[in-house]
């Protein structure tokens, strides 16, 4: 891939080098990676992530990702750890230490303390022969052939590889723990993400007397009164056992008039739609939004597993709850 523009050419070269660095990780997801995962899974405390400089920034992100996907984790600055913050690390924790060179002095200075306290250590380095990697119980190999920086100085490919390897670790642990969407929602209660994952249809639907409902033997003209009174632009139609058999909407009314039917005389069953969109009350509100958008409808019927109606949900309800 090339470009005549030097700015574009530099950007493309950077991306190509970093893509190559990430692809190189595929061959390094080996037995050592699996053993590191098992060590963390068997840890009764937290994963304490440490790293200096750019590795520290990557470490913070990895700690955050771990914590939000079912693996308790914190980031501790290694320099601060040497001045008292080591007390944040307990005997029940394990440590994930990041250093591309594997020779970062602030990180290495903590190794004797980890050894003395019996704290397991996983390293994430670009040098498997380094002191850090050799001191660790297991090493995650994030070696890259070159940095994307044309000077070969600024951490670029190496930090990208470390970040991707950290994500791979977090996702492997997530799946091993059986972490679910509900678990994720509990970790993200704030903002739109929390609302989309926590709010159920049951929380927003209209129920009880608010549901427009007529029996199958109701005259269409009478059904219109129910529609007008409840204000949903439709009414549900149920049989003698209160099972939902159809829905009559404003659109069905227009089609009945266009076809020349006498709306004063016919029963609702002669004009209703037996094919309609519905959802379960325990479904996520976000799923209701998806169905509405894909089907181009603005109201959903909420019914239980036995076919009985439980409620009505409008797009307006989802908008008010900031689900969409």
Any domain includes 192: no
What is the distance of C-alpha 229 from the center of its chain? 41
Expressed as residue numbers, the domain containing 232 is: 201-320
Can you read off the two tokens belonging to residue 205? 């639907």
Helices (H), 109-218: 111-117, 131-135, 157-177, 181-187, 191-198, 201-204
pTM (global) more than 0.95 = no
Q: What is the CATH number of the domain that holds 116?
A: 3.40.50.10490
Any domain includes 147: yes
Asked if 160 and 81 sit in the same domain, the reply is yes
- Residues forming a β-bridge with 246: 237
Task: Indicate the residue among 120, 147, 179 that finishes a domain.
Answer: 179
CA distance 276 to 282: 19
Any domain includes 190: no
Helical packing angle, 191-198 and 285-295, nearest 10°: 90
Q: What is the CATH number of the domain that holds 276?
A: 3.10.580.10
Query: Collapsing DSSP states into helix, strand and coil, what is residue 85?
Result: helix
Asked if 298 and 256 sit in the same domain, the reply is yes
Asked if 134 and 171 sit in the same domain, the reply is yes
For the chain, how many structural domains are there in total? 2
Helical packing angle, 157-177 and 53-68, nearest 10°: 20
Asked if 139 and 221 sit in the same domain, the reply is no
Residue among 171, 165, 157 nearest 140 (CA): 165
Mind listing the pLDDT tens digit of every residue in the chain (324 residues)? 556 799 999 999 999 999 999 999 999 999 999 999 999 999 999 999 999 999 999 999 999 999 989 999 999 999 999 888 999 999 999 999 999 999 999 999 999 999 999 999 999 999 999 999 999 999 999 999 999 999 988 999 999 999 999 999 999 999 999 987 767 766 666 555 666 667 889 999 998 889 888 988 888 888 888 888 888 888 989 887 778 888 898 888 888 888 888 888 888 888 888 888 889 888 888 888 889 889 888 888 898 888 788 889 988 888 888 776
Residue among 230, 99, 185 nearest 249 (CA): 230
Tokens 């002669």 belong to 270
Asked if 161 and 302 sit in the same domain, the reply is no
Task: Indicate the residue among 115, 145, 179 that finishes a domain.
Answer: 179
Asked if 268 and 172 sit in the same domain, the reply is no
């Amino acid at each position: 891939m090339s470009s005549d523009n030097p700015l574009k050419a530099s950007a493309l070269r950077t991306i190509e080098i970093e893509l190559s660095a990430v692809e190189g990780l595929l061959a390094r997801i080996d037995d050592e990676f699996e053993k590191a995962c098992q060590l963390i899974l068997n840890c009764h405390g937290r994963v304490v992530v440490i790293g200096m400089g750019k590795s520290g920034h990557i470490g913070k992100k990895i700690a955050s990702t771990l914590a939000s996907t079912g693996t308790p984790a914190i980031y501790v600055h290694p320099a601060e750890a040497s001045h008292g913050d080591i007390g944040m690390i307990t005997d029940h924790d394990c440590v994930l230490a990041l250093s591309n060179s594997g020779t970062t002095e602030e990180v290495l200075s903590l190794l004797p303390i980890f050894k003395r306290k019996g704290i397991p250590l996983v390293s994430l380095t670009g040098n498997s022969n380094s002191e850090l990697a050799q001191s660790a119980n297991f090493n995650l190999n994030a070696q890259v052939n070159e940095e994307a920086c044309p000077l070969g100085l600024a951490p670029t490919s190496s930090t990208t590889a470390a970040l991707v390897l950290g994500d791979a670790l977090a996702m492997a642990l997530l799946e091993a723990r059986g972490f679910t969407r509900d678990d994720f929602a509990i970790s993200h209660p704030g903002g739109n993400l929390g609302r989309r994952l926590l709010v159920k249809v049951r929380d927003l639907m209209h129920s009880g007397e608010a549901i427009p409902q007529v029996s199958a033997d109701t005259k269409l003209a009478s059904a219109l009164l129910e529609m007008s009174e409840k204000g949903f632009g439709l009414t549900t139609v149920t049989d003698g056992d209160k099972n939902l058999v159809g829905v009559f909407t404003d659109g069905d009314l227009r089609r009945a008039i266009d076809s020349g039917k006498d709306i004063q005389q016919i029963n609702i069953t002669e004009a209703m739609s037996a094919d309609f969109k519905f959802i379960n009350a325990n479904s996520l509100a976000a799923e209701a939004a998806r169905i509405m958008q894909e089907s181009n409808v603005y109201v959903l019927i909420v019914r239980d597993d036995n076919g009985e109606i439980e409620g009505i949900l409008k797009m307006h309800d989802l908008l008010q709850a900031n689900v969409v």
